[in-house]
Structure 1
């Protein structure tokens, strides 16, 4: 109780102390904190009395800090800096416009993250926060402002706009093809390690559906290597562990750089399309069109080596 009484309201004395310590003058300190020179002197004397030791060495028309004064000034400055940082954060949170984009792990890894600067340009003045939600890419919470999903969203409370379909074909690394190729026909895939993502949503297509479009069934003895994430599937493919079913809209950068290749001329275009979705119960505070236009321009155009004439539709 004695300690609490000692420090009660002591904070009211600290601004005068800090100003005097920084300016080495009671007069200038008074001008800063709106007190007379004598009032500043009285407050500091009260502070010294309550601390039981001097904070200033006083000489004719000059003051300087004692070791105790230096210690108190250092602590006060550190605390003031933390308070200023907190105030800046609070002001920034009040003024900033955060846009929460929900999408699948694969869409985030292969579409958005490689082009953060381009995505940012679609939302001028807004802070972009990307959350991932598998399998479809929509997190049905009030915090989501916009979602990028493959397949029409099946969550209530969302409006959506269709974008473009995807094209599926086998992909592998050039080194895997050299060691295990050549692959001249679809049937040759049955001699390869097939990497796949376990289907978690009706919109997702796997090896069985793809092979059936070309008149083949996976033999019962054939056991592909499975993952619960398409990102992990492609990482295994990049490590040369096998052939993955490539969603070419997602993998354009890896194909363009030569890290992955398409060994067969057999393509499958999906009937499902990518969609932009947004909550229907509240008004959007930003324009969706720039992001939609960017997605269509960046990922919805022609794919090198692919022609619609050589494509089945599923």
Structure 2
């Protein structure tokens, strides 16, 4: 046993240096790492410099007002972060007698509001109990800098800060409220649709489209669009459509329950199936625990697109 320990110490001369390096890499700041660790910035700098001298390579690019990992630094960080997460997980499991642990799930406001909340009651029916804390985001936060166990993202599945698992695909089509159809005649062509009051929102995730992009995707180029309302959040656009303000783009996985309840109506005029899809992303350095796997399977329990 002593021989093995001696061998590790020969290869890894300072675990303290690795701990402080991980904090700097995760927070992208020597100052923030020092505050988190309760030491001085100079002490953190010495530990990182010691690692660089030991490894004979630069781990960070020192920029004017920021730092960035080099390719060698990135390789070391991924391994160190994963190892520390595993160690922390064992300590947490051994020291915590509670059977239920809180899982932090990050998603957009729309996904959280329209897909997660209506389904949270189903968590109680799972064989493995889950306690979920929702972290609502408007943009993808770097998972290396936030305390998140699992994130739901829309895109191509390729992100540098985590490992992606396919969740489900998507389809985009026009939706409105029944009251809107009492006020305006239902359009029968794309040209008629373009002349009606539309509700739009700013794109927040790569691949989320607005009306102009959607019309182009379905092969129609209107000369002019009439907007009844524009909002910064897609969730607000859905609410506006629910209250009869105009026609919104319906992302099928988001508005499924509203279509099922009859609060929104799908207009059968054009539909677009993007190449991008929804993915569950687990931060690098964290393994997919049994609880996370249960959450992923629960999220994946999809209904047919209406």
Assess same fold via TM > 0.5: yes
Is 2:302 the counterpart of 1:303?
no
Q: 1:181 to 1:296 in 2, by over 3 A?
A: same
For the 8 Å contact 1:104–1:137, the answer to whether it is kept is no
Tell me the CA shift for residue 153 of structure 1: 5.5
TM-score by structure 1 length?
Answer: 0.61
Tell me the CA shift for residue 150 of structure 1: 1.2
Out of 110, 127, 135, the position equivalent to 2:131 is 127
Is 2:101 the counterpart of 1:97?
yes
Out of 115, 120, 125, the position equivalent to 1:116 is 120
Partner in structure 2 of residue 141 of structure 1 = 145
For the 8 Å contact 2:200–2:227, the answer to whether it is kept is no
Partner in structure 1 of residue 206 of structure 2 = 202
Out of 235, 240, 244, the position equivalent to 2:244 is 240
For the 8 Å contact 2:104–2:150, the answer to whether it is kept is yes
Q: Which secondary structure state, in structure 1, belongs to the residue aligned with residue 182 of structure 2?
A: helix
Q: Which secondary structure state, in structure 1, belongs to the residue aligned with residue 170 of structure 2?
A: strand
Q: Distance in 2 between matches of 1:118 and 1:295?
A: 10
Q: 1:207 to 1:291 in 2, by over 3 A?
A: same
Tell me the CA shift for residue 113 of structure 1: 0.5
Which aligned pairs between 1:154-303 and structure 2 lie closer than 5 A? 155-220=159-224, 222-223=226-227, 225-299=229-303, 302-303=304-305
Tell me the CA shift for residue 164 of structure 1: 1.7
Q: 1:160 to 1:210 in 2, by over 3 A?
A: same
Structure 1 unmatched ranges of 5 or more: 1-90, 305-314
Q: Distance in 2 between matches of 1:119 and 1:152?
A: 28
Q: 1:112 to 1:126 in 2, by over 3 A?
A: same
Q: Distance in 2 between matches of 1:139 and 1:93?
A: 28
Q: 1:135 to 1:270 in 2, by over 3 A?
A: same
For the 8 Å contact 2:102–2:133, the answer to whether it is kept is yes
For the 8 Å contact 1:186–1:264, the answer to whether it is kept is no
Count of aligned positions: 212
For the 8 Å contact 1:153–1:275, the answer to whether it is kept is yes
Q: Distance in 2 between matches of 1:99 and 1:214?
A: 39
Larger Rg: 1
Partner in structure 1 of residue 72 of structure 2 = none
Q: Which secondary structure state, in structure 2, belongs to the residue aligned with residue 268 of structure 1?
A: coil
Which structure has more relative contact order (CA 8 Å, sep 6+)? It is: 2
C-alpha distance after superposition, 1:181-212 (max 9, x if no partner)? 12111111122111111113322111112111
Q: Which secondary structure state, in structure 2, belongs to the residue aligned with residue 195 of structure 1?
A: strand
For the 8 Å contact 2:171–2:271, the answer to whether it is kept is yes
Q: Which secondary structure state, in structure 1, belongs to the residue aligned with residue 131 of structure 2?
A: strand
For the 8 Å contact 2:201–2:232, the answer to whether it is kept is yes
